[in-house]
Structure 1
Amino acid sequence: METERLLKEVEKRLPKKRFEHVLRVTETAKRLAERFSVPVEKAELAALLHDIAKYMEPKDMQKLIEENDEDERMLSFHHGIWHAAAGRIIAMDEFGVNDPDVLNAIRYHTTGRTGMSELEKVIYVADLIESGRNFPGIEELRNAAERSIDIAMKACIAHSVGYLVERQADVFPDSFECYNEHVQKI
């Protein structure tokens, strides 16, 4: 699907502010992809579709997850992470995406996981550091992304897990495993 048509489809499904976020994530992902020798076209596609399911009804996301061999453990966690798995399915079924790396980048952009590809890391990091984000520590995360994708990934997953722990929110097991892998790696 050509980029202009894809943009129109994404824009139809998201509120204005979320669509603007998607555009900023896409620009950030393309920049990171260039810097870290990741195919820019794949980064653009994954970034454009990463939040495609963000505003679906939870019951509809649940149905997609249950019917498509997704990790049903996530259904016992807050529905805020469900859109990543639902988005992967929509990317395949409705947009014809069949590249496993692009699909995994969409699927794991909220939780991370062990063994992430460079593209998966680019999308995870871009989602967190895009220019519209403004929270304590954002500049440190952006600076880490200037150094290496692994340093950025470690900083970003540590920030995300720390944020959830500080709020006494549940943390999906993939996120803990991703955090541990990056702490041990660097």
Structure 2
Amino acid sequence: MNWNEIESDLKRKLTKKRYQHTLNVVEAARELALKYGCNVENAAIAAMLHDCAKCFSNDELLDYAKKHNIEIDAVSLEDPQLLHGPVGAMVAGELYSVEDPEIRDAICYHTTGRKAMTKLDKIIYLADFIEKGRTYPGVEKARRKALTDLDAATIQALTNSICHVAQMGALIHKRSICARNDLIIKKLKKIKNESE
């Protein structure tokens, strides 16, 4: 499918609010990709498709994951909406002909993050977090940080997400904790190496 076909299909499948969010994420992802030297087209495609499985019900996500051998960990079993990333990555390949594994990974991990996030992973995670429609407390700080330091902004976004989920009393996915810890360890090593 080409861009116009993907856009048209998603406009039909997603709610009006979700579709507008998707367009906002595409805009933010393009800006971040330009800022941080990432392939802008890949960022736009990953952003456009990041929520392509968000319209699936919990049962549909679980069924799809089972049929396609997508791992369903204990946290995702309790909160199947966490599967919309991994399922979306598979849908991006099957329905929208996205073959690039980096794009599919960015879709897969856009909700939880992961250890050893690629630049594209961080851009899609962060674009989803700071797109112009977001109004949660601290979003302006995250937007400012995103203009100067991709890793620090991603750490801040992960921290905010983990704290928010914890305050709600919900389960925190271990990938989010691993992603945050990994980025902090790399940042500390960089600081140490620069000071030697």
Q: How many angstroms apart in 2 are the aligned matches of 1:80 and 1:61?
A: 7
Q: Single out whichever of 67-76 and 33-42 deviates more from structure 2.
A: 67-76
Query: Contact 1:77 / 1:172 at 8 angstroms: preserved in 2?
Result: no
Q: How many angstroms apart in 2 are the aligned matches of 1:150 and 1:58?
A: 32
Q: Which residue of 1 aligns with 2:155?
A: 154
1:75 CA displacement:
3.3
Query: Contact 1:36 / 1:148 at 8 angstroms: preserved in 2?
Result: no
Q: How many angstroms apart in 1 are the aligned matches of 2:68 and 2:162?
A: 27
Q: Which residue of 2 aligns with 1:79?
A: 80
Matches within 5 A, 1:135-150: 135-150=136-151
Equivalent residue pairs, number: 186
Q: Which residue of 2 aligns with 1:112?
A: 113
**After the TM superposition, which parts of structure 1 deviate over 4 Å for at least 4 consecutive aligned residues?**
none
Q: How many angstroms apart in 1 are the aligned matches of 2:77 and 2:119?
A: 29
Query: Contact 1:114 / 1:174 at 8 angstroms: preserved in 2?
Result: yes
The amino acid across from 2:20 in the alignment is: E
Q: Unpaired runs of 5+ in structure 1? A: none
Asked whether 1:95 is paired with 2:99, we answer no
The amino acid across from 1:49 in the alignment is: L
The amino acid across from 1:77 in the alignment is: E
Q: Which residue of 2 aligns with 1:28?
A: 28
Q: How many angstroms apart in 2 are the aligned matches of 1:26 and 1:113?
A: 21
The amino acid across from 1:128 in the alignment is: F
Q: Unpaired runs of 5+ in structure 2? A: 188-196
Q: How many angstroms apart in 1 are the aligned matches of 2:81 and 2:60?
A: 13
Instruction: Write the deviation string for residues 51-99 of structure 1: whole angstroms up to 9, x where unpaired.
Output: 0110112111111111223221053231221111111111011111110
Query: Contact 1:158 / 1:179 at 8 angstroms: preserved in 2?
Result: yes
- Over aligned residues, Cα RMSD in angstroms? 1.1
Q: Which residue of 1 aligns with 2:171?
A: 170
Q: Which residue of 2 aligns with 1:58?
A: 58
Q: How many angstroms apart in 2 are the aligned matches of 1:15 and 1:135?
A: 21
Instruction: Write the deviation string for residues 131-171 of structure 1: whole angstroms up to 9, x where unpaired.
Output: 00001111111111011211111111111111111222100
Instruction: Write the deviation string for residues 16-67 of structure 1: whole angstroms up to 9, x where unpaired.
Output: 0100000000000000000000000000000000001101121111111112
Query: Contact 1:30 / 1:44 at 8 angstroms: preserved in 2?
Result: yes
Q: How many angstroms apart in 2 are the aligned matches of 1:75 and 1:177?
A: 16
Q: In terms of Rg, which structure is larger?
A: 2
Residue 125 of structure 2 aligns to a residue whose secondary structure is helix
Q: How many angstroms apart in 2 are the aligned matches of 1:134 and 1:10?
A: 24
Residue identity over aligned pairs, in percent, reads: 32
